[in-house]
Chains A and B, each alone.
Chain A
Amino acid sequence: MSVCHFFLQGRCRYGEKCWNEHPRGGRGSGGDYQPGHQSNQSNRGGFGNRVWINPSQRSGGGGRPHPSTPSRGGVDWGGGSNGAGGGFGFSQNRFSTLNSQSNFDGGAGSGDENEKHLEAIQKDMEVWQSSGQWPFSTYSILKAPISGFVELSPEELRLEYYTRRSSGDVESYINSVQQLANQWRDRVQELRIMNPSTRVAMTAELSNPRPSGGGLFSSSSSGFSLSSSSGFQAGGFGSSLQSSATFCFSSATTGFGSSGARPGPSGFGSVGVFGSAATPATPSASAFSFTAPAAAKTSAAVSGSVAGFSFSSSSTPSASAAGLGSGFGSSTPAGGGVFGLVTGSSSGFIGGASELYTPQSELTANELKEFTAARFTLGQIPLRPPPAELLTV
């Protein structure tokens, strides 16, 4: 029997009665809405796992027997009379690619899967750009979040505005928000266009999800967790608004994502902004982004982007320390260049070619303890880079 291709798309009208074969395999019940006769009850209630594939996306999955799941869910629920699946979006199946007993023909190769994911990312970015939805949100296609996005809730931002307003400093709030918004726009654009270097970086990121504590991505973990591939750390802002008057989004623990491979905004941009308020409570840890060798050639651009990084006020003894972009295994001209940004700070890094690593002998006992620990402790994150000996890549 031939395979029923409507079933594969999730819209076979005959269901069990279909003369063609309905391969079972991770697709749930497939389409079995019988228009008209049969119980209208089950029509409504038992749609099961219908993945309504956006026709525009089908081209990506064309040649494969099982279109994989990150297809966009369908239309909004109609009043129930719209029999075409009612369009409730993808279900848990989206994550089935992560299951070990994946019953997709994973033999299609992870390369294909990644392709699908990348396309889905592009589509999502397009939607995100045009829809006017909240920009400061994390985003992910698989379990782990995609790097380069800031997670802020409207309430946090609003509170920030209120506190700034009471201290008369509305301008800086507006600037901060604009900076964040620009960063977001750039990142979305980048992911949408998906030029080759982004593609490489994303593929790496997707296949090697960052180690995350407890199964949930913890943006408060140290900027140190290196993944063997691209090692981008999402710009997670730790709990914000700790000190009342500051917009200091880092409570010393955030790892800022810097897209080492692309001429995009670095996550540091935002640090600059926030450092601009009154003294941040604790200095933030630096994020070290180690670009994958393949993409290292563009890391020159990184420095460029960081130059756009400015602390708008100079009152902070902020050691929002420099992140280092260093190309592993490939020497990049600017790779050694550390973009350190400090304004009038006494204890921060100085921008320019400072060291990549601190020699172990120079570390204080506390710093050494932190570096060797599995995670950083809040408030104790060292401000200097670790010694090369401690790094495992």
Chain B
Amino acid sequence: MSLFGSSSGFGSGGTGVFGSTTTDSHNPMKDVEVTSPPDDSISCLAFSPPPMPGNFLIGGSWANDVRCWEVQDNGQTVPKAQQMHTGPVLDVCWSDDGSKVFTASCDKTAKMWDLNSNQAMQIAQHEGPIRTIHWIKAPNYSCVMTGSWDKTLKFWDTRSSNPMMSLQMPERCYCADVVYPMAVVATAERGLIVYQLENQPSEFRRIDSPLKHQHRCVAIFKDKQNKPTGFALGSIEGRVAIHYINPPNPAKDNFTFKCHRSNGTNTATPQDIYAVNAIAFHPVHGTLATVGSDGRFSFWDKDARTKLKTSEQLDQPITACCFNHNGNIFAYSSSYDWSKVQTVPSHVRKTTSSCGMRLRSSSLGTRNGESGISVTMEMVSVARQGCPPSFIPGCFC
């Protein structure tokens, strides 16, 4: 069911070729596997916002494409459409009404994809690859915010080819998040800037990073009144910092925690430390999910400061994750994230390994600390798709 017309021999969706291994490290959590995943690593995932009926998932990948799937209530995923860029896609986001998807790519452009007409047009241009893209909906304006490796943050009205505003950043933009009226951008060299978006975007504060290493991902969380009040910042060093913007007691309220490390409490052997690739907050419960290079995802409660659940280890790093609008579905993608750079020659070969995307349904992260995840949807274990011929199982160094 290659609606996407890709060439990697998927066969007709879902008939397992590899299903017979006893320890299936490809999908150890037995989550629903999304059909027809992209051919190369998935860089970003986004679910459709509330106004749209149904759940649509957008995924951008290093194969220069952006794909859209419909996730039905029974768990089946139906590939719907695809758009191409001329460079790897690094970030995607939806407009607030769910009719358009914005995609940002290494080809230095961003496009607006109208799903109804399946047309995509370019709406932004930078001098370097665009790393983040977000839709901002303010009472008096709406625009697209793009952060790029050319150290600028630009705001685009989709109708004009000139940016409405362009803000200079101290360094390359590595990750960003927007929850009106707050936007947070984390840059290279541990830069951290908060912008306020009322009236027009302006820099609100530059914050000293609570982390010692490179910033990798950031996600804003909200307080009980649904106002953005702080953010979670993940680094390459297996650590996430929770930072409130105006806490009553900064020393007490802000903290960091370690995650995505091997042998948790055993301090005898050196730990393996993995990067936190993405963070997502559950829209209802406010719990957070982190996914890392170690191939695990974890759910945490930041108020109780506890870990709720960690998954089994997948065979590949998990590169992106997101919750759908009501928090019932958690999607994550497993594909190589370039983290094994120290073993250079074989790491380069990894680009041909298979990529997968999975959905997990749940009433996740409820605070009564249940150890299991209650399932509202039947979990279907779909056997692994056919892989490109050059894939050799076990060759993951």
**Contact A76 B264, beta carbon cutoff 8 Å:** yes
- Among B90, B254, B273, chain A packs the most CB atoms within 10 A around the CB of B273
**Contact A91 B210, beta carbon cutoff 8 Å:** yes
Question: Which residues of A sit under 8 angstroms from B348, Cβ to Cβ?
Answer: 161, 170, 173-174
Known contacts A143-B208, A158-B62, A239-B150; A217/B255 CB under 8 A: no
- Docked pose: A217 CA to B256 CA in angstroms: 22
Is A77 engaged at the interface, CB distance under 8 Å to the other chain? yes
A147 to chain B, nearest CB (A): 12
Stretch from B29-37, B219-227, B232-240, B382-390 at the A interface: B232-240
**Contact B342 A137, beta carbon cutoff 8 Å:** no
**Contact A159 B129, beta carbon cutoff 8 Å:** yes
- Docked pose: A28 CA to B247 CA in angstroms: 14
A68 to chain B, nearest CB (A): 14
Is B339 engaged at the interface, CB distance under 8 Å to the other chain? yes
**Contact B305 A138, beta carbon cutoff 8 Å:** no
Contact with B along A100-133 (1 / 0, CB 8 A): 0000000000000000000000001011001111
Is B59 engaged at the interface, CB distance under 8 Å to the other chain? no
Contact with B along A123-154 (1 / 0, CB 8 A): 01011001111111111110101000001011
Question: Which residues of B sit under 8 angstroms from A153, Cβ to Cβ?
Answer: 172, 174, 188, 214, 216
A295 to chain B, nearest CB (A): 25
Question: Which residues of B sit under 8 angstroms from A158, Cβ to Cβ?
Answer: 62, 88, 338
Which residue from chain B places its CB closest to the CB of A81 in the assembled complex?
A: B306
**Contact A134 B151, beta carbon cutoff 8 Å:** no
**CB contact between B256 and one of A28, A91, A214, A216 (< 8 Å): that residue:** A91
- Docked pose: A134 CA to B237 CA in angstroms: 7
**Contact A154 B337, beta carbon cutoff 8 Å:** yes
Question: Which residues of A sit under 8 angstroms from B62, Cβ to Cβ?
Answer: 158, 162
Known contacts A92-B210, A135-B341; A79/B190 CB under 8 A: no
B211 to chain A, nearest CB (A): 9
- Docked pose: A161 CA to B347 CA in angstroms: 11
B252 to chain A, nearest CB (A): 5
Interface size on B, residues (CB 8 A): 71
- Docked pose: A79 CA to B151 CA in angstroms: 40
A222 to chain B, nearest CB (A): 14
- Among B187, B251, B261, B265, chain A packs the most CB atoms within 10 A around the CB of B251
Residues from 233 to 280 in A contacting B, C-beta threshold 8 Å: 236, 239-242
Question: Which residues of B sit under 8 angstroms from A337, Cβ to Cβ?
Answer: none
**Contact A154 B271, beta carbon cutoff 8 Å:** no
Question: Which residues of B sit under 8 angstroms from A47, Cβ to Cβ?
Answer: 305
**Contact A133 B274, beta carbon cutoff 8 Å:** yes
**Contact B273 A88, beta carbon cutoff 8 Å:** no
Question: Which residues of B sit under 8 angstroms from A91, Cβ to Cβ?
Answer: 210, 251-252, 254-256
- Docked pose: A135 CA to B237 CA in angstroms: 10
**Contact B206 A138, beta carbon cutoff 8 Å:** no
Question: Which residues of A sit under 8 angstroms from B87, Cβ to Cβ?
Answer: 159
**Contact B345 A220, beta carbon cutoff 8 Å:** no
Is A347 engaged at the interface, CB distance under 8 Å to the other chain? no
**Contact A138 B254, beta carbon cutoff 8 Å:** no
Question: Which residues of B sit under 8 angstroms from A308, Cβ to Cβ?
Answer: none
**CB contact between A92 and one of B90, B254, B303 (< 8 Å): that residue:** B254
Is B355 engaged at the interface, CB distance under 8 Å to the other chain? no
Chain A interface (Cβ < 8 Å from any Cβ of B): 28-29, 44-45, 47-49, 73, 75-80, 86-95, 124, 126-127, 130-141, 143, 145, 151, 153-159, 161-162, 170, 173-174, 177-178, 181, 213-220, 236, 239-242
Give me 27 A-to-B residue pairs in the complex whose CB atoms sit less than 8 angstroms apart, sorted by A's number: A28-B252, A44-B306, A48-B251, A73-B256, A76-B264, A80-B304, A80-B305, A87-B257, A88-B258, A88-B305, A90-B256, A127-B273, A132-B273, A133-B238, A133-B275, A138-B188, A139-B212, A139-B213, A151-B171, A151-B214, A154-B339, A155-B338, A157-B338, A162-B62, A216-B193, A217-B189, A217-B191
